Amino acid sequence: MTKTPVKHAPKKPDYEKALRKAGIRITRPRKIILGILGETEDHPDALEIFRRAEQVDKSISLSTVYRTMKLLEEMGAIHRHAFEGGPSRFEQAGGDHHDHLIDMDTGDVIEFRSDRIEQLQQEIARQLGYDIVHHRLELYGRRRKD
Amino acid sequence: MTKTPVKHAPKKPDYEKALRKAGIRITRPRKIILGILGETEDHPDALEIFRRAEQVDKSISLSTVYRTMKLLEEMGAIHRHAFEGGPSRFEQAGGDHHDHLIDMDTGDVIEFRSDRIEQLQQEIARQLGYDIVHHRLELYGRRRKD
DNA sequence: AATCTTTTGCAACTGAGTGTCATCTGGCAC
DNA sequence: GTGCCAGATGACACTCAGTTGCAAAAGATT
Ligand SMILES: [Zn+2]
Ligand SMILES: [Zn+2]
Ligand SMILES: [Zn+2]
Ligand SMILES: [Zn+2]
């Protein structure tokens, strides 16, 4: 059984090259946003990414952030999460698959992975006659005070 | 291991009584909405509930549907789901817990339940120092064409 | 540098849901 | 049954996340 907080590997997939290959231009805003996503360890939403991007270039617009997030998602370069009805939150793809436990008091997001659960999901889908394209497992909880 | 499509038991929890006991008035719109939720087998969103309610009473307003859904959710009488960033979809509580597989082509929602997965979730949370308050497991897939 | 797209910033728009408020009504008292 | 009134309703203004239309700007290619 595997079940550990997931450490983000120091992955650095070359998304600029991937974009270029897909015939998509490497513009200044895109470079900045990719930089932010590559560095962060958390799961920021579009507004937070926008705020961080502003530090680098005051002229970036929020719509460009939204557009870029959609583009990167379609390319498979990032994952979009919609925790508990809040705004979408993003993280770079390319690391190992993991699911999330959300601390209901602090909002912290803890990553974990259970190969056993992943496997059971496959079995369930197969028995129901489906192939899983993707899935979402979120645990919402509070620190156990003993 | 339990893992079967969940059949909705012919449950009929008496929510009107529960509402009354909580000092909440049984109004015409609420009766209608409870009736819709008690009869449906699917996971309609607020707009769909509104449309079905209109068939019964043309004067019902969409805001009342939203308000009622929030009220019922707070009472624990219904569950709210937010599949894939879409609008909230609802179902009556009171049946057995289950999770959902969403057919990406048709939008159909198939219910299933795996006690093994439920148990593994508990273990994971415990090891991370958390108590699970609730969780969400959604499989997104396509019918396997063999 | 000139050209041809693609992308950008801005602002106007959409969709889901909430807040405000004058009016209405369910539940109880008589 | 009638009267009362806090709680609920419908209408509509508003918020919030995200999208879209468009003229201007900036990549890529020559
Ligand atoms: Zn997973
Ligand atoms: Zn993550
Ligand atoms: Zn479950
Ligand atoms: Zn269900």
Please give the domain boundaries of chain B with CATH numbers for all domains.
15-92 (1.10.10.10), 99-141 (3.30.1490.190)
Mean pLDDT, all residues of chain A: 90
Q: What is the pLDDT of residues B56-103, one digit of tens each?
A: 999 999 999 999 999 999 999 999 999 988 999 999 998 899 999 999
pLDDT at A8 over 60: no
SS3 of A41-62? CCCCEHHHHHHHHHHHCCCCCH
Determine contact, residues B90/B78, Cβ cutoff 8 Å. yes
Q: Given this model, what pLDDT does residue A1 score?
A: 46
Summarize the confidence of residues A9-32 as an average pLDDT.
Answer: 81
**What is the distance between the alpha carbons of residues A13 and B31, in angstroms, rounded to a whole number?**
56
A119 → chain B, closest CA residue = B117
Q: Given this model, what pLDDT does residue B105 score?
A: 85
Q: Given this model, what pLDDT does residue B128 score?
A: 96
Choose among B64, B63, B66, B60: nearest CA to B80: B66
D25 C1' – A29 CA distance, angstroms?
13
Binned at pLDDT 50, 70 and 90, residue B119 comes out as very high
Q: Given this model, what pLDDT does residue B42 score?
A: 92
pLDDT at B107 over 90: no
Q: What is the pLDDT of residues A111-142, one digit of tens each?
A: 999 999 999 999 999 999 999 999 999 999 99
DSSP SS3 for A135? strand
Closest residue to B124, CB basis, from A114, A121, A143 = A114
Residue corresponding to tokens 């190992």: A96
> What distances in angstroms separate CA B25 from CA B31, B57, B68, one per listed residue?
10, 18, 11
pTM value surpassing 0.95: no
Q: Given this model, what pLDDT does residue B23 score?
A: 83
Contacts of A120 in chain B (CB under 8 A): 3, 114, 116-117, 120
Residue B56 has φ and ψ, to the nearest 5°, of -85, -45
pLDDT at A146 over 70: yes
Ligand with minimal distance to B98 CA: 3
DSSP structural state of residue B104: T
Torsion on CA atoms A137, B75, B95, A140, rounded to nearest 10: 20
The CB density around residue B111, as the number of other CB atoms within 10 Å, is 20
DSSP SS3 for A130? strand
Query: Residue A46 CB closer than 7 angstroms to strand C?
Result: no
Residues in contact with A123: Cβ distance below 8 Å, sequence separation at least 6, in sequence order:
B3
For chain A, the C-alpha Rg in angstroms (whole number) is 17
Higher pLDDT, A122 or A1: A122
Determine contact, residues A45/A88, Cβ cutoff 8 Å. yes
Residue B114 has φ and ψ, to the nearest 5°, of -130, 110
Q: Given this model, what pLDDT does residue A5 score?
A: 53
pLDDT at A4 over 70: no
Q: Given this model, what pLDDT does residue B12 score?
A: 59
Higher pLDDT, B84 or A13: B84
Q: What is the pLDDT of residues B5-60, one digit of tens each?
A: 554 444 556 787 778 888 899 999 999 999 999 999 999 999 999 999 999 999 99
Nucleotide nearest to B45 (CA to C1'): C16
Higher pLDDT, B130 or A20: B130
Q: Which nucleotides of D are covered by protein (CB under 7 A)?
A: 7-13, 16-21, 26-28
Q: Given this model, what pLDDT does residue A10 score?
A: 45
User: How close is the nearest chain A Cα to the Cα of B116, in Å?
Assistant: 8
pLDDT at A20 over 90: no
Q: Which residues pair with A80 in a beta bridge?
A: A90
Q: What percent of chain A has pLDDT over 70?
A: 91
DSSP SS3 for B93? coil
Q: Given this model, what pLDDT does residue B5 score?
A: 52
pLDDT at A145 over 90: no
D15 C1' – B88 CA distance, angstroms?
18
